[in-house]
Every structure is written in structure tokens, then in C-alpha cells.
Amino acid sequence: MARTQAERRADTRARLLAATIDCLVEHGYAGTTTQRVQERAGVSRGALLHHFATKEALLVAAVSHVADEQVNRLRAEAATGRPVDEVELLTGVMSGPLFLAGLELWQAARTEPVLRAALLPGERRIGAAVRELLEELAPRPERDRVDVEGLLALYRGLALTSVLREDRGLDRQVLRRWTDRAPGQG
């Protein structure tokens, strides 16, 4: 059965977003060009421009896509109903291509105001989803928003500095020490 125009459009858009994520991970923000994305997605220049008139529009859509996919991963984890270890949860969610692409976008947002503005809503969604999931799967009455935000910031910082460290096991140790301390015990 032939696909509808809407299905073909959605498929093209999904391929462009996936290609953008791949390019961000492989080439970084500066090396992610619309031509690279177009070639990787296997679409024509016209198809790319139909969906995203500018590189900024493509990256803004990629920002939203990364946030949505991260939130979906968190919700899928919650749906299993299994008890979850905080460190393992964050290591699972905040690693891999989506996280690396997100880090590239974060770094670029420092000097790109349009990108920075586009990142804010997605980051709020991700933060809220992480808080919800931790409250549901790894409840701690003493944990508050500052604890979760601190844990997320710590993990992002570890990820950024990991390129200069050979011992990835240290990340888990640092995170474990952070999560094992209840507020007021440090």
C-alpha cells in the first residue's frame, strides 16, 4: 500500500532530525552543516529546505527532538515499574548519542542566543521528567529540586570533562558518592 504524503513528510523530517543528531555527535556543532545533514539523511536539498529553511531552524527542531526523546526514554523506564538506582538511571539516560548531541547544543548555546532560547523549554521538560522519575522509582523524602538539579549539573559536568579523563569508572564513583549522601550529612 502506498504511503500518504503526510507519512512521507513525517519520514523525511524524522530522517533529517536523526541525521542532525548523528552529525552533531560525529562532527560537533561547527561541523554540522546542512549539506552534511542532507547527505546523511539521503534527501534532496529541496526536501531539506522544505522542512527547515535555515540551519538555525534545523537545530531548533533538533533541540526539541533531543528533549522529547530523552523524556520518552525516562517515561519508558518509569513504565517498567522496576525499582531504579539513581546512578544507573542517569548513566543510562544521560549517555549515548542523544546526550552527546545535547551537550554539543549546550556548548553552542553559549554564543548562539536563538539556540539558547530554543534549549530552555526542552531542558525544563527533561529536568521535570527526571525529577518525576526519581520521585517515582527511587523515592527519598529528603530530596528536593536542588538535589536533582545538582545531580544533573554534576553529571553534565562529568560528561563534558570525560574527554580529558581515561577512567570512566570515576564518573560512577562520583555520582554514587553524591547520591548516597542525604542532605545535611555532607
Query: 5-180: which CATH topology?
Result: Tetracycline Repressor; domain 2 (1.10.357)
What is the C-alpha separation between 120 and 51, in angstroms, rounded? Answer: 22
pLDDT(184) > 70: no
Per-residue model confidence as pLDDT tens digits over 22-57? 999 999 999 999 999 999 999 999 999 999 999 988
The pLDDT, as a whole number, for residue 185 is 42
Closest to 45 in 3D by CA, of 34, 56, 30:
34
Report the pLDDT averaged over residues 2-26: 94
Instruction: Select the more confidently predicted residue: 159 or 51.
Output: 51
pTM for the structure as a whole: 0.77
Report the pLDDT averaged over residues 111-132: 83
For the chain, the structural domain boundaries read 5-180
**DSSP structure string for 74-124:** HHHHHHT-----HHHHHHHHTSHHHHHHHHHHHHHHTT-HHHHHHHHHHHH
What is the residue type of 4?
T
